[in-house]
Structure 1
């Protein structure tokens, strides 16, 4: 039996590959081809069509890296093709083994009407559905010669990743540019055999499989290999019986067309603009040619690009959206990273995404679609829910290195207790072909058959691969009700989730027995180094996030206090730029050099323009004069808001608090001792912290014999995915950086103790650390400048702490997450590199220590045992030097600021993190001004103060409980208020908002880590 199966499978595989598929476009004539290569950046289609063209011979080289070549194709439909479907077949030199990551084409008609894309597995374009014979043909192809920087030989360093360093050599040669008859019957035969071949491979050796194999043999016996077209119908007839047998399986595959397009990755943002337009055109073409196919695309930014740069495609997208066939998904500006962006950034991803879809397309998304981000914050369930979404979708957790995630359909519970219905497709892919193997895997691997009846299949080639193909829709048609296979249907994910919710939830709204719940972060056991790669990108993100929230605060204050115009347009544009760069291959540092070069340039621009907005608003508030006024800084920050919102009125800079002990610096042997009456810090001759004593308690934060602030260097060559990964074995080799070039200690003119240490990292790299302690502070700050020229090295800074910590508390959006410090199970052992925002904190009863930072997202923790007890070491991840996809990753000068906060609780660490990320400002004016918003309540932090996105002039204030407990608070607004209501994160009304007798003083009760948003309608007397 096995021999019979092998013979049939081998036979049909070869016939399909060598005879049937080539016969789909066997009848053809060459087109006349002309070409024109552009010297610089792409041009609009109207300009491309008007270029002067020169003769081009098919087979000739074309296309230097990142170039554009326009091809003009002309010809005439032969008279004998009357009544046939005629297509142009355009092979630009594609590698069919890699559907994306290479050259791509976009076909236009002579009048500028878009047809569709030409891609490796989808390189046809319709000329006429029914020829009359003799029709003239004139088509244009905008061909992008994107270099292959990712393929069968992966992770090879290349200079092709930047236009500035790319080779001028021509990369491609066309293979075929023809006018051809599309033989629909041959194509149908190919799909019949393709589906049955895939199906039988997944069936047991029983009657159904044997009947399929016999039918295949019968069909091939009827097929004349010298006349495939003439005998295709007879061959198909032999397959009819096995294709008509209905399914008995209960599992339903909800298919949605998909073309996951990274907003930047191995190509720059400007190329993504074209990838999206090409794909959207192809998918609207496929929608027009099919009855039930639906295509889903996420990322409002990508729709905005189509609208701005390809209005002719945008018109088709809008029509397809209105017809319910082109589905906006996700409700976000981009498919962002969700681990590193701040809480306010995640809110703006939803706010700007949903507003665009509503205003431009009349659509509101009901779920968050994030198939490919690198782990998911435990704060997300609350943010998803409070933004008005009903469901969450991803598949990336299937990439875990060690542990298999136990569910595909479940309720995901976040740090505040919110739950969101979540699904992972059991196909383990977002680029499904609807192959037999994928369908069988989905049914076999689905872990929740007891409670749910189906799963989702995102179907199509991504990243410029062309999206869904007509071969995929043909498979879906045959698999809609086929014995031995799950049933396949095209449908909106909303319909799948609505059905699944009914299966999981009872009529009382409670989960039915057996419904799984996952609590906490969805940690990806892979791509852990994305928390560190491309430090300049991460520093720019952190800096700009804070600046934009601060700019909103002062602009809102100036608007309501002075009548100054609120800069809606400017803030929106800056936010959208930052949100774009939070895309999951930009902020994580996993794109080519070109992408990160531009990202750093854009962060610099955003910073400059946000600073100008802050300065303009503060000038309006403080008036003309020569007095120096303090804004922000210690004592001016309130929780999440990086500014003095509701804490104190700006005061004169030279105002000093009474009773603050001056800082002293003394030499004791080879040691340097710094004392400010709160902390006593000792640094050794090696410039390392050997002691940090909280003078009030006598507790030393540093274990006896240990040193903190120690830079450590590891080799860094992961098994795969250079910029993405760090593998656990990196820890096995470490070099402590103890050598000192110079050490200087002094008290500066501001009364701050400074210990300046310079040391080599290697022959090529150096580092300078400045340890500083201010009067009255319990934070030892370290400002570090690193001139980094390493290759495949990982730089950490270690803080051994004399704290027996059972867990760490690391900041995440609107709160913190607790992670155990032990590795009792494989799940804990796999979390050897984890995420933080501005602080991580450890404690034992009565004593805690925090580590704060201004641009770091990754850290690791270790429990250390000696005969004296258990201590805890926290190490911040500072720099890496992977070679792919950017061979010069992070080379150059970097600055980090971090600090050791001794004798503090979580709230104190959080406040210190805010201060560190919010430099104090000095404003020149003639008067101070009262804070606009004040929050009274322990552990309740102010997150943002802004004017409403709908430009009504309403004031929006967001607060959150930051300690993980229940809290009461009162939000005070210092101006006349007409009314107040609670709103969603999208600033839309909630029915259960607060009822306050004084709308300017709203009393609230918050649960652990709860986020609440208030909207204040200002009284008519307000300047706005």
Structure 2
């Protein structure tokens, strides 16, 4: 037989792109839509729902930079669709290659309760499963027209980084507003073929397993009638069952997948937009947890939970329920994922004090891990602070970005300047936005530097920064990779479960002493001087205010301003986030930070003066 491998691989790609994926939604009807654009900053939900609409349709432009538009989409499920699964497909003008760095939306029911977020890789809203036929459909979308700043040519000068200079030209065009049938059998076939095709591409061409998969794919495509994909998808899946059920080798690498969405608390967007990014993503993740019993999701940064609690209490109620069930995991135990080079030691300690206190009071959760995947290097004193806060593990990723020296371990003991050791893991998958692609899983296996001594690694899985988190496709792929020949074994786990297993497996891991230096982002130590000056002044004033207030409370009965100082500390800790204090955010963020630091200085000076007057009196 001649070598037809490349022909079959090309056939798979073409048939997936041109015939099978389009057949996931084989029938559709257009939805009607109206739009209202808020005149300034985002408005409360009730105001957005009640505002008058003007007609808009697919193809129309919308969305000035940093604007908010409220869309209402309506329609009726055709009676002929009775008994079938129906979804609304809403494409705001997404670029699928940039999840997290463009427009986003949060879908609401007519009563104002949130449903889920809309993102480039997550454009569907389930309407009925099964449909009765004839149902009325009415949804509202709070759409944010955040401009694309990190484009295909990244880090170019732009006026879009501040609302004062961004202009008002529409940024997007509505691409799709449809009601559609969802064919789950076809969708499952797509997941089968994607997993096998991606695995096949990573296996050696001379190995038998690659050819077994190739022949099974060939038989499946032969069984598929391209004029009736839905009617023959089940038969095609039968041809793949054998290669999908072949178990992994006993020595296969183990990957603990953790549902995740790394959301920078400010970066290419202002703080107020992060509040909405977090709400959209957590709405998605709590919905996915309800649909997928094996899925586990972890979210760090107590500040982000506090934002949901304040601004989207309905979403927060779903989060609390999922946390109580042990499937939505508060991770990290810090107020934000802060920089660790520039904050003072007291501030680093307060990151854990405020973060762990929030998780304990709100959820009864005591964290044992620090979770800092994106922080720009780590000071040598951090292990002592982590251990003193009651934690014993650290996860990070960013050191893999170093420009010259590749870090020699993925699992190791990190020893601080006082001798304290923290069990530390760098995921060899080299991303905190894993999407369960075969090339990512294969890279983790090849890249893992501790082979022969350990066999477990972690994969934070999901689109971050407003990309919507983990998708149903990622969960489906992970299910197929749980025990599949040629692949690492993948299963959903909580971070603590991974760390406990990894430490037990590799207790004599090598030791790294002192600073974890990142050979990248060096200019962040000197950029945005006013932000750094504001932080240091705030830290010094906080110390002074607490000393004067405590002294006055003890000696003169001065009412200690606990709530005021607590609020100010949280403001300062927020601004130590690893894209604010280091200076890597857009102009809007730093302009706002400068005003915030000035206000903080005024408040703290006022506390000092009140305490001094009390002592003088």
Is the pair's TM-score, using the shorter chain for normalization, greater than 0.5?
A: yes
SS in 1 for 2:160: helix
SS in 1 for 2:121: coil
SS in 2 for 1:555: helix
Matches within 5 A, 1:764-843: none
Q: Could you give the per-residue CA deviations for residues 752-788 of structure 1, whole angstroms, max 9, x where no partner exists?
A: xxxxxxxxxxxxxxxxxxxxxxxxxxxxxxxxxxxxx
> Cα distance, 1:46 vs. partner?
2.1
Find the counterpart in structure 1 of residue 384 from structure 2. Answer: 382
Residue of 542, 551, 575 corresponding to 1:581: 575
Distance 2:75 2:180 in 1: 11
Residue of 386, 403, 421 corresponding to 2:423: 421
Find the counterpart in structure 2 of residue 516 from structure 1. Answer: 510
Distance 2:310 2:88 in 1: 28
Distance 1:538 1:27 in 2: 56
> Cα distance, 1:504 vs. partner?
2.5
SS in 2 for 1:161: coil
Residue of 344, 347, 352 corresponding to 1:345: 347
Q: Could you give the per-residue CA deviations for residues 482-537 of structure 1, whole angstroms, max 9, x where no partner exists?
A: 011111010001001111121223xxxxxx3xx20000000001111000110100
Matches within 5 A, 1:615-694: 615-623=609-617
Find the counterpart in structure 1 of residue 602 from structure 2. Answer: 608
Matches within 5 A, 1:69-84: 69-84=69-84
Residue of 390, 393, 399 corresponding to 1:391: 393
1:484 aligns with 2:486: yes
Distance 1:474 1:146 in 2: 30
CA contact (8 A) 1:413 1:518 kept: yes
Find the counterpart in structure 2 of residue 195 from structure 1. Answer: 195
CA contact (8 A) 1:115 1:126 kept: no
Find the counterpart in structure 1 of residue 270 from structure 2. Answer: 268
SS in 1 for 2:590: helix
Find the counterpart in structure 1 of residue 307 from structure 2. Answer: 305
Find the counterpart in structure 2 of residue 509 from structure 1. Answer: none
Matches within 5 A, 1:125-136: 125-136=125-136
> Cα distance, 1:32 vs. partner?
1.0
Distance 1:30 1:325 in 2: 37
CA contact (8 A) 2:192 2:237 kept: yes
CA contact (8 A) 2:343 2:576 kept: yes
Find the counterpart in structure 1 of residue 283 from structure 2. Answer: 281
Distance 1:262 1:78 in 2: 42
Find the counterpart in structure 1 of residue 138 from structure 2. Answer: 138
Residue of 326, 329, 334 corresponding to 1:327: 329
SS in 1 for 2:137: strand
Residue of 444, 447, 458 corresponding to 1:445: 447
Distance 2:18 2:571 in 1: 49
Residue of 590, 598, 606 corresponding to 1:596: 590
> Cα distance, 1:3 vs. partner?
5.3
Distance 1:125 1:298 in 2: 26
Q: Could you give the per-residue CA deviations for residues 641-680 of structure 1, whole angstroms, max 9, x where no partner exists?
A: xxxxxxxxxxxxxxxxxxxxxxxxxxxxxxxxxxxxxxxx
Find the counterpart in structure 2 of residue 572 from structure 1. Answer: 566
SS in 1 for 2:171: strand
Distance 1:51 1:3 in 2: 63
1:555 aligns with 2:549: yes
Distance 1:311 1:544 in 2: 31
1:38 aligns with 2:38: yes
Report how many residues are paired.
615
Distance 2:481 2:506 in 1: 26
Distance 2:459 2:244 in 1: 22
CA contact (8 A) 1:49 1:112 kept: yes
> Cα distance, 1:25 vs. partner?
1.6
> Cα distance, 1:560 vs. partner?
0.9
SS in 1 for 2:264: coil
Distance 2:595 2:437 in 1: 44
Distance 1:24 1:78 in 2: 18
Q: Name the structure, 1 or 2, with higher relative contact order (CA <8 Å, separation 6+).
A: 2
CA contact (8 A) 1:99 1:465 kept: yes
Q: Comparing 243-252 with 261-270, which one deviates more in the overlay? A: 243-252
Task: Normalising by structure 1, report the TM-score.
Answer: 0.60
Distance 1:236 1:27 in 2: 22
Q: Could you give the per-residue CA deviations for residues 921-952 of structure 1, whole angstroms, max 9, x where no partner exists?
A: xxxxxxxxxxxxxxxxxxxxxxxxxxxxxxxx
Rg larger in 1 or in 2? 1
Distance 1:57 1:479 in 2: 41
> Cα distance, 1:268 vs. partner?
0.4
Structure with the higher fraction of residues in strand conformation: 1
Residue of 519, 534, 537 corresponding to 1:543: 537
Do the aligned partners of residues 604 and 53 (structure 1) sit closer, same or farther apart at CA in structure 2, a change above 3 Å counting? same
Matches within 5 A, 1:3-14: 4-14=4-14
Distance 2:57 2:455 in 1: 55
SS in 1 for 2:63: strand
Distance 2:349 2:366 in 1: 16
Find the counterpart in structure 1 of residue 473 from structure 2. Answer: 471
Find the counterpart in structure 2 of residue 823 from structure 1. Answer: none
> Cα distance, 1:8 vs. partner?
1.6
1:153 aligns with 2:147: no
Find the counterpart in structure 1 of residue 239 from structure 2. Answer: 238
SS in 2 for 1:170: coil
Q: Could you give the per-residue CA deviations for residues 570-599 of structure 1, whole angstroms, max 9, x where no partner exists?
A: 101111111111001000101111000000
Distance 1:465 1:4 in 2: 38
Q: Comparing 303-312 with 246-255, which one deviates more in the overlay? A: 246-255
Distance 2:168 2:543 in 1: 44
> Cα distance, 1:622 vs. partner?
2.8
> Cα distance, 1:2 vs. partner?
9.8
Find the counterpart in structure 2 of residue 802 from structure 1. Answer: none
CA contact (8 A) 2:252 2:487 kept: no
CA contact (8 A) 1:44 1:309 kept: no
Distance 1:318 1:44 in 2: 23
CA contact (8 A) 1:109 1:138 kept: yes
1:226 aligns with 2:227: yes
SS in 1 for 2:241: helix
> Cα distance, 1:423 vs. partner?
0.2
CA contact (8 A) 1:298 1:369 kept: yes
Q: Return 5+ residue gaps in structure 2 as ranges.
A: none
Find the counterpart in structure 2 of residue 916 from structure 1. Answer: none
Q: Could you give the per-residue CA deviations for residues 539-595 of structure 1, whole angstroms, max 9, x where no partner exists?
A: 001110111011111111111111111111110111111111100100010111100
Find the counterpart in structure 2 of residue 54 from structure 1. Answer: 54
Find the counterpart in structure 1 of residue 258 from structure 2. Answer: 256
Distance 2:538 2:83 in 1: 61
Find the counterpart in structure 1 of residue 112 from structure 2. Answer: 112
Structure with the higher fraction of residues in helix conformation: 2
Distance 1:21 1:570 in 2: 55
Distance 1:232 1:455 in 2: 35
CA contact (8 A) 1:89 1:178 kept: yes
SS in 1 for 2:255: strand
Do the aligned partners of residues 595 and 202 (structure 1) sit closer, same or farther apart at CA in structure 2, a change above 3 Å counting? same
Residue of 343, 362, 365 corresponding to 1:363: 365
SS in 2 for 1:64: coil
Matches within 5 A, 1:158-173: 158-173=158-173
> Cα distance, 1:453 vs. partner?
2.1
Residue of 444, 458, 461 corresponding to 2:460: 458
> Cα distance, 1:57 vs. partner?
1.9
Distance 1:588 1:5 in 2: 50
1:206 aligns with 2:207: yes
Distance 2:544 2:113 in 1: 46
